Amino acid sequence: MTLINADKGYLGNQLVKRDGIQDSFTQEEVAEYVKCMKDPIYFAETYIKVISLDSGLVAFKPYDYQEKMFKHFNDNRFSIVLACRQSGKSISTVIYILWYAVFHPEKTIAILANKGATAREMLSRVTLALENLPFFLQPGCKALNKGNITFANNTKIVAAATSGSSIRGLSVNLLFLDEFAFVENAAEFYTSTYPVVSAGKETKVIITSTANGVGNVFHRLYEGAVQSSNQFKPFRVDWWDVPGRDEKWKKETVSNTSELQFEQEFGNSFHGTSNTLISSNTLLGLKAQNPIEMRNDVYFYEKPQAGYRYIMTVDVSKGRGQDYSTFNVLKISDIGFSQVCTYRNNLVSPMIFPDIIVKIASFYNEAMVIIENNDVGQVVCNHVYYDFEYENTFVSSSVKADGIGVMMTKRVKRIGCSNLKDIIELSKLHLVDANTIDELSTFEVKGGSYSASVGNHDDLVMNLVMFAWFVSSDAFGDLSDRDLKSLLYEDRVKQMEEDITPVGIIDEQPLVGSACAYEDMVNNMNEWNNL
């Protein structure tokens, strides 16, 4: 540990050089500086110290895969790391960030995590490594606190929680997202953040995480990286890569936990839950798209097309930063339904929300608006229907005072969930919104019904549940020349035809026995259709 004179330290911290200090360096120090600047691996293994649980402050000795990780970060703009627990992925990234800050002036680095406290703890690791750098390597500090470090070379490191506003207004040169598979509202954050980081030609993004189920943003980005369908380059650290971990270690760890938990935390396995409404295989096939435009929390994926009908389903919250007020706009076509526009905001007032609803619904060819009228939703229903005089608002009853909109009863939810499962798994509903897909991946069985898993939201999904209920109703038949039963029936018949069609064909005639099976199948499907 190199102590700096008190008059040269930052605010009394004799381990950190303050801004404005002029010093001369030896030829050896200059040579070392150049070596470190050119090679982050040399910098790390020569000058970095870390805290060991067993030995306290020790020199950092990178494993082979950590050296490869440094090189991976340096060689690629967009890096995504899938790593087992306790593999040193976070400290490796912290060290790389310090190297980048020391030797790259005029840069902004953002460390973001699920919680602000976690991000600040990562920044404290940067500070610890900085304090133990020799004097000649330290650039000097203009500011150093729990939330940011500003160096004399005008490079800044900030730490914050992942949110849509966390780096808004910043020109970020290096973005680090830690344990991204566990970040709440990850889809919303990534959608709002991507334009910030993609604007620069040299901006780096580093995403690290342990696996945490299928369908979330981290899983989709990593799988896309493996398949070379996005900009990210994958890096993987398995449990056997870590020295000291062998089959004996695995057996002991499994005995203290479970095979499933081991595979999730140490085996880098993207295990999905069997309790989700939508099957894991279907969730894996859902591909999010970037919106063509984003404006005031409205995500546009397709402009309205002449001759098409649209339906907007609306879920209303109290606007107090908890549940979200949302809507989904869906296009009706002969082959099914497609998502064209979404809205998601947990701060919008129920008094302001109707204005947004009417403007967007009017934009989409005077879309039919269906609002859940539970609780505060009734206020929004009345504003849309009476105050804005939007005539294309769904009215379920002309008698009851709460007849505007839809009451989300157990029956409505049950029918909606059942229909939603069918239209998604039979590819009759085309989904493109990342937030919606993210919510579907955590929409699971709870107490005989379905809802979001702990720490997640289902407001956009409930839009779809209400939509799926509506398209099976007589009201949808009046709106469209198709009904849900016929749409699904045709696809089921086709699917069953394919299932019973024999592989072998003799003289262009089906093998004996298929005709009876087909007749029975058609009779069964006719009975289903008449339900």
**Which residues are catalytically annotated?**
179
Q: Look at residue 288 in the predicted model and tell me its pLDDT.
A: 87
Q: Look at residue 480 in the predicted model and tell me its pLDDT.
A: 64
Q: What tokens appear for 191 in the block?
A: 């959608």
Closest CA relative to residue 342, chosen from 457, 459, 423:
459
Q: Look at residue 197 in the predicted model and tell me its pLDDT.
A: 72
Q: Give tens-digit pLDDT for 465-516.
A: 999 999 988 888 766 665 666 666 555 545 544 544 444 433 444 433 334 4
- Ramachandran sector of residue 513 (left: φ over 0; alpha: ψ -120 to 50; beta: rest): left
Answer for the pair 467, 311: CB distance below 8 angstroms, yes or no: yes
How does strand 141-144 pair with strand 509-510? unpaired
- Say how far apart CA 390 and CA 84 lie, in whole Å: 54
- Say how far apart CA 336 and CA 330 lie, in whole Å: 10
Per-residue pLDDT of the chain (531 residues; tens, 9 = 90+): 444 455 666 666 778 888 877 778 899 999 999 999 999 999 999 999 998 877 888 999 999 999 999 999 999 999 999 999 989 999 999 999 999 999 999 999 999 887 888 899 999 999 999 999 998 999 989 989 888 999 999 999 999 888 655 666 678 899 999 999 888 778 777 877 777 676 667 889 999 999 887 778 898 899 899 999 889 999 999 999 999 999 999 999 988 877 767 887 898 887 655 578 998 778 878 888 889 999 999 999 999 999 999 999 999 998 787 889 999 999 999 889 999 999 999 999 999 999 999 999 999 999 999 999 988 899 999 999 999 999 999 997 755 556 799 999 999 999 999 999 999 999 999 999 989 998 898 898 888 899 988 778 899 999 999 999 999 888 887 666 656 666 665 555 455 445 444 444 334 444 333 344 434 444 444 443 443
Q: What tokens appear for 340 in the block?
A: 């064209």
Domain ranges of the chain: 6-12+63-245, 283-479, 503-531
DSSP notation for 288-338? ----SEEETTEEESS---TT-EEEEEEE---SSSSSPEEEEEEEEETTEEE
Q: What tokens appear for 78 in the block?
A: 């967009």
Q: Look at residue 527 in the predicted model and tell me its pLDDT.
A: 42
Residue type at 200 in one-letter notation: G
The CATH class of 283-479 is: alpha beta
Q: Give tens-digit pLDDT for 229-285.
A: 889 999 999 999 999 999 999 999 988 877 767 887 898 887 655 578 998 778 878
Q: 343-349 long-range contacts, Cβ below 8 Å, gap at least 24? A: 343/297, 343/298, 343/299, 344/188, 344/297, 344/299, 344/435, 344/459, 344/460, 345/297, 345/319, 346/317, 346/319, 346/320, 346/321, 346/322, 347/319, 347/320, 347/321, 348/297, 348/319, 349/319
Q: Look at residue 167 in the predicted model and tell me its pLDDT.
A: 61
Q: Look at residue 492 in the predicted model and tell me its pLDDT.
A: 53
In eight-state DSSP terms, residue 18 is B
Helix (H, G, I), strand (E, B) or coil at 277: coil
Burial 129-166, CB ≥16 within 10 A → b, else e: bbbbbebbbbbbbbebeeebbbbbbebbbbbbbbbbeb
Q: Look at residue 499 in the predicted model and tell me its pLDDT.
A: 47
Q: Look at residue 4 in the predicted model and tell me its pLDDT.
A: 47
- Of 3.40.50.2300, 3.40.109.10, 3.40.50.300, 3.10.110.10, the CATH number of 6-12+63-245 is 3.40.50.300
- Say how far apart CA 319 and CA 361 lie, in whole Å: 21
